[in-house]
């Protein structure tokens, strides 16, 4: 299972939110590149980079941070947040992203998302399936749709999606464990490469996600709050 640290960006700084609430913003480092290099030095090879300004403003904003990290590290970066147009996606890939994650666009404009799948291929396009009470959340988690998360993932798997990042928003930033029952249900209903996100607080959580069958696990606040150390990640990697 891949270990994938997350860097969330607001105003060019590395931050974390709790349950996606922008009012809970906590700045952990004003230099995201410094954080990315520390991950790389610990043996990490993948990074989940989220443009929270972009998610809120409905277009890519912090692409310079993406460009900086991609130019100065060898991390495999998947980038999400505010990707709403062909131009946004082009900027993300031109800035060095190896993959992009689209969530809101798949709900609001599925034809656009399908066009990206066709143009770039399923290896480069990840489906973002973030949910609140099983319903897909969109627009930086500021809105909740009436779409069931398992049905949503199943639908897009049939359209060619191979990789999915799923976050149970109620778990995000809470450091009280992942949505393991939901992930089991998704893996039983689909054949996607599932990347778990939200709630990871310990090495034991990672072991459980691997046992469930997740292809990857995204870790955020647990690292920044010292619940999981870079030394422990180095040993895992």
* Spatial distance between the Cα atoms of 61 and 118, rounded to a whole number of angstroms: 25
> What is residue 213's three-state secondary structure?
coil
Give the N- to C-terminal CA distance of the chain in Å, as an integer: 10
Tens of pLDDT, residue by residue, the chain (237 residues): 999 999 999 999 999 988 888 899 999 999 999 999 999 999 999 999 999 999 889 999 999 999 999 999 999 999 999 999 999 999 999 999 999 999 989 999 999 999 999 999 999 999 999 999 899 988 767 778 899 999 999 999 999 999 999 999 888 777 778 999 999 999 999 999 999 999 999 999 999 999 999 999 999 999 999 999 999 988 887
- Cβ-based neighbours of 205, under 8 Å, separated by 6 or more: 177, 178, 199, 217
DSSP run (H or E) holding 50: strand 46-51
Q: Which residues pair with 136 in a beta bridge?
A: 131
DSSP 93-144: HHTT-SEEEESHHHHH-HHHHHHHHHHH-TTTEEEEEEEETTEEEETTTTEE
Q: Residue 226 sits in a domain of what CATH number?
A: 3.20.20.70
What pLDDT, on a 0 to 100 scale, did the predictor assign at position 237? 74
What pLDDT, on a 0 to 100 scale, did the predictor assign at position 31? 98
What pLDDT, on a 0 to 100 scale, did the predictor assign at position 170? 87
Query: Structure pTM?
Result: 0.93
Residues annotated as part of the active site: 8, 130
Q: How many domains does the chain have?
A: 1
* Spatial distance between the Cα atoms of 163 and 127, rounded to a whole number of angstroms: 6
- Residue 203's nearest CA partner among 180, 182, 222, 179 is 222
Residue-range definition of the domain harbouring residue 202: 2-236
């Amino acid at each position: 299972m891949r270990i994938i640290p997350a860097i969330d960006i607001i105003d060019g700084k590395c931050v974390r939110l709790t349950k996606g609430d922008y009012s809970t913003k906590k700045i952990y480092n004003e230099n995201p590149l410094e954080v990315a290099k520390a991950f790389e030095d610990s043996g990490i090879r993948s990074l989940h980079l989220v443009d929270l300004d972009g998610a809120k403003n409905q277009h890519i904003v912090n692409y310079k941070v993406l460009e900086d990290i991609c130019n100065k590290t060898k991390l495999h970066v998947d980038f999400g947040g505010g990707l709403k147009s062909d131009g946004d996606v082009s900027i993300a890939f031109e800035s060095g992203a190896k993959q992009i994650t689209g969530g809101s666009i798949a709900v609001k404009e599925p034809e656009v998302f399908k066009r990206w799948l066709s143009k770039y291929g399923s290896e480069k396009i990840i489906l973002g399936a973030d949910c609140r009470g099983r319903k897909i959340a969109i627009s930086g988690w500021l809105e909740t749709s009436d779409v069931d998360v398992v049905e949503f993932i199943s639908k897009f798997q049939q359209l060619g999606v191979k990789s999915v990042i799923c976050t149970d928003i109620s778990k995000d930033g809470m450091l009280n464990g992942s949505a393991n029952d939901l992930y089991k249900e998704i893996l039983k209903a689909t054949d996607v490469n599932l990347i778990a996100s939200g709630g990871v607080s310990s090495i034991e959580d990672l072991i459980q996600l691997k046992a469930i069958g997740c292809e990857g696990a995204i870790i955020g606040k647990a690292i920044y709050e010292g619940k999981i150390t870079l030394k422990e990640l180095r040993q895992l990697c």
